[in-house]
Amino acid sequence: MATININGTLVNDQTAGVQFNDPDGDDVAISVDAGGDISGSLDAAFLAFLNGLTLSDAQKAFADSAEAASQSDLIQVTAGANEVVDSLIFAPLTNANSGLDTVGGQDILLTTSADGKSVLATAGVGGPIVAAFYIIPADADNLSATVQMVTFEAIAHPSGLDPDDRVDFSDILKVRALSHTDTPIGDDINVDDDGPDVNTNGAGPDLT
């Protein structure tokens, strides 16, 4: 069975601008052009996903200010003997409560896309998008993956006096490694000959 290890943390500092002195080093710059398209130092598939979302100008402006976050090789997978890892995805979630709230007091709920590549955090069921997460396997072996995220709204923090107060999305947000092991079976599937039975005891065609 494949073993998944989480290597480090992914942190999106919602302070305006890229935080170059952040010890986590996760911040990456994004921008929003005059046409409302998001661009920047994110995976091309994630950017395409983001630009397919229904986002208000205010949400895009917040993301442009808070920037994005990316952590290479955040996910590491060790495959078992003769095991092939087919894909790395987010585990299925549908409106699962993250335990976090928006600054307006709404529950932040998590929903995984059908293909498992992304998770959206929304303010309540069907509410405005608060954050988006995306998983990018490093190669076809699926033994490591980068995770990226963008936030579109401020998230409430319990300590209003600490400018670096940190919250997380709890252990309900999971990654999943889908794998298989092939075991030879052809040597155990046989076909017997249907030719005549030749014997010397008189019970059938005799060999003389």
- Separation CA 69–CA 64 (nearest Å): 12
List the domain range (segments joined by +) for residue 64: 3-13+26-92+135-181
Query: Other C-beta atoms within 10 Å of 170: how many?
Result: 12
152 falls in which pLDDT band (50, 70, 90)? very high
Alpha helices (runs of H) in 38-125, residue ranges in sequence order = 44-51, 57-66
Is residue 197 in a domain?
no
Is residue 76 in a domain?
yes
Is residue 174 in a domain?
yes
Is residue 194 in a domain?
no
What confidence score (pLDDT) does residue 180 get?
92
- Separation CA 151–CA 132 (nearest Å): 7
Residue among 176, 4, 205, 8 at smallest CA distance from 92: 176
Distance, CA of 125 to chain centre: 21
Is residue 45 in a domain?
yes
Is residue 99 in a domain?
no
Judged by DSSP in three states, 53 sits in: coil
Q: What is the total count of domains within the chain?
A: 1
For 14-52, what is each residue's pLDDT tens digit? 777 666 655 555 788 999 999 999 999 999 999 999 999
Determine what percent of the chain is predicted with pLDDT higher than 70. Answer: 85
Residue among 26, 104, 36, 32 at smallest CA distance from 63: 32
Give the highest mean pLDDT range of 23-37, 46-60, 67-81, 188-202. 46-60
9 falls in which pLDDT band (50, 70, 90)? confident
Within the chain, what is the greatest distance between any pair of CA atoms? Answer: 105
Is residue 126 in a domain?
no
- Separation CA 147–CA 29 (nearest Å): 15
For 126-146, what is each residue's pLDDT tens digit? 999 999 999 999 999 999 999
Higher pLDDT, 180 or 26: 180
Distance, CA of 66 to chain centre: 21
For 81-123, what is each residue's pLDDT tens digit? 889 999 999 999 999 999 999 999 999 999 999 999 999 999 9
Is residue 86 in a domain?
yes
